[in-house]
A and B are shown apart, each in its own frame.
Chain A
């Protein structure tokens, strides 16, 4: 029992509700939401270190022992993601303070961001698959509001699409849960794993597993990403950054958890399908990124490429590949948040989103330009930045298991990522500026602070990969040996 484990979920909910009462006090809302996120960052850092010394932690709500009650389980994998998500949200809030505008702030923007992060953290931490569904819904309901908030015509169109696709996905999630409960008679994730192992993963259970695969693929944007480019490009910049860095990653987390813990036995079928889907996602994402003419399209298709690349790690399924997938997941969350913040700022300073219509941004904003250059290198996987470690390890894992097609696709996609982002850099940042230095729109200080902090964390994740290795290796070890997780939940 460790009550710290529930704080990343419950503290944002309580503060979000308190902020509802402080609707008009915007400054107070800003301070409280930032303090909340910093507090959660500290808590999750503490938890991460406690997991290393005490092993996997669990918290049985109101003392009901598993498999009967609902519980939160903290292992290195989930807490690493909670930590990363909290750090990113703190930085995004810094960006929001100076850019989001009082209209959003008065319409409960901060409470909904906090509800979103509560849902995200809950999804990472829960050890009960029905509770995972509930946390998904908390996160999605907040995201519906954040997509639609602002009330532009395009936003209405895209948010309708977004809501519809997610309602369908949630409906399928429920059906899959019903099938699962009907076959194994339990909802506790560790207990499901035990029951599935006892029964052997027969075709019926594999079908249920594939149903979960479809559901989580819709959420993660694996192959079924047709809804993603539209709905990720309409909301305000901060919301885009939060969505790109957090929402699809929750889907990826659920996929990795499902297919390493609960359904790891029939890898010939499930992991092959995941591999094929990851490959097609990479190809389609690259085509989208190459054909995109405006910065938003290119950035959203880069999200899709990232998803495909991380899931190569799961499809390959060796310990090295999973270590790489975790490294790359952390890197991708940080880098995509920064990329979307930068892209939004490009639109803000130039008033244009088409690549060819802008030029010479770097002449007016040197630091801004070089931070873009840095994130581009990180996404392409240039050492010593954060993307390098993940790419190398996933590649190494793919070679170990002989998945050369996925290996080739993965590394070809890195070149496409580099090319698509370099195109923006050359066309929009270099060249003669159209706006003279005196008439430029100043970039708010808060935005610069967010850029610099995110860039610093990208560099430190890359340079400090060695000190992160303890946590990441422990996380991958738990994923590879589900019995550690199961014993921690069901015994003791």
Chain B
């Protein structure tokens, strides 16, 4: 029997954008407030998992042709890369730096290397989360 999931599909189409936006917001707010790479990554990952649940694997794969194992690997590389970068500037391992920079339109913004590290964490979390869910769902 085919389940009629019109409601789920319609709701998800809108809700996924809200979830992904919340994920990105949490990711950036993490610098000085609750949030950060791990939490942002979890929310983003759960949005992607929701897509997989609503539509089948093939449809999502067609639009998002990522190997999530590699996403996780890339995340770890990014995080460790930003940590090890400090060594080349003769600062202790994991040291981070930041700068205030005035953009033409946006005005003065706070740029930090921690964001790169956090992006790595977020990608690792997304990759791991989706890989776990996909490997559980793949074998019956």
Chain A residues at the B interface, C-beta cutoff of 8 Å: 1, 3, 6, 10, 13-14, 17-18, 20-21, 59-63
Q: A14-B84, A20-B70, A21-B70 are in contact. Are A63 and B77 (CB under 8 A)?
A: no
Q: How far is the CB of B121 from chain A (nearest CB, A)?
A: 14
Contact of A17 among B80, B86, B87, B91 (CB under 8 A): B80
CB contacts (< 8 Å) of A18 on chain B: these are: 77
Which residues of chain B from 55 to 96 have any CB-CB distance to chain A below 8 Å in the complex?
69-70, 73, 76-77, 80-81, 83-84, 86-87, 90-96
Contacting pair B92 A63 (CB below 8 A): yes
B95: A residues at CB distance < 8 A: 62-63
Contact B77 A62 (CB under 8 A): no
A62→B91 CA distance, assembly (Å): 8
Nearest opposing residue in chain B for A111, CB measure: B73
Identify B80's interface contact among A13, A21, A60, CB under 8 A: A13
Which residue of the partner chain B has the closest CB to A70? B94
Taken together as a complex, chains A and B put the C-alpha atoms of A443 and B81 apart, in Å, by 41
Q: B93 contacts which of A3, A13, A14, A21 (Cβ < 8 Å)?
A: A3
Q: Do most interface residues of chain B lie in helix, strand or loop, or is the interface mixed?
A: helix
Write the nearest CB–CB distance from B81 to chain A, whole angstroms. Answer: 8
Q: Is the CB of B93 within 8 A of A61?
A: yes
Bound together, the chains give a CA A478 to CA B92 distance in angstroms of 25
Given A17-B73, A20-B73: A1 and B80 within 8 A (CB)? no
Since A6-B93, A18-B77, A59-B93 are in contact, a sample of 17 more A-B pairs with Cβ atoms closer than 8 Å, ordered by chain A residue number, is: A1-B92, A3-B86, A3-B87, A3-B93, A10-B83, A10-B93, A13-B76, A14-B77, A14-B84, A20-B69, A21-B73, A60-B92, A61-B93, A61-B94, A62-B94, A63-B91, A63-B95
Q: Which B residues touch A20, using CB under 8 A?
A: 69-70, 73
B84 contact set on A, CB distance < 8 A: 10, 14
Q: Which residue of B lies closest to A60 (CB)?
A: B92
Which of B77, B83, B84, B93 has the most CB atoms of chain A within a 10 A radius of its CB? Answer: B93
Q: Give Cα distance in the complex from A3 to B85, angstroms.
A: 11
Please determine whether A62 and B93 come into contact, CB atoms closer than 8 angstroms.
yes
A10 to B83, CA, bound (A): 9
Q: A10 to B77, Cβ gap below 8 A? A: no
Task: Give residues of chain B (85-137) contacting chain A, Cβ–Cβ below 8 Å.
Answer: 86-87, 90-96
**A416–B106 Cα gap in the complex (Å)?**
77
Task: State whether A3 touches B70 (Cβ < 8 A).
Answer: no
Q: How far is the CA of A38 from the CA of B83 in the complex (A)?
A: 23
A3 to B95, CA, bound (A): 11
Contacts of B70 in A (CB 8 A): 20-21
B78 to A, closest residue via Cβ: A17
Q: Once the chains are docked, how many angstroms separate the CA of A59 from the CA of B91?
A: 10
Q: Would you call A61 and B92 a contact (CB within 8 A)?
A: yes
From A20, which residue of chain B is reached at the shortest CB distance? Answer: B73
Residues of B close to A21: CB separation below 8 A? 70, 73
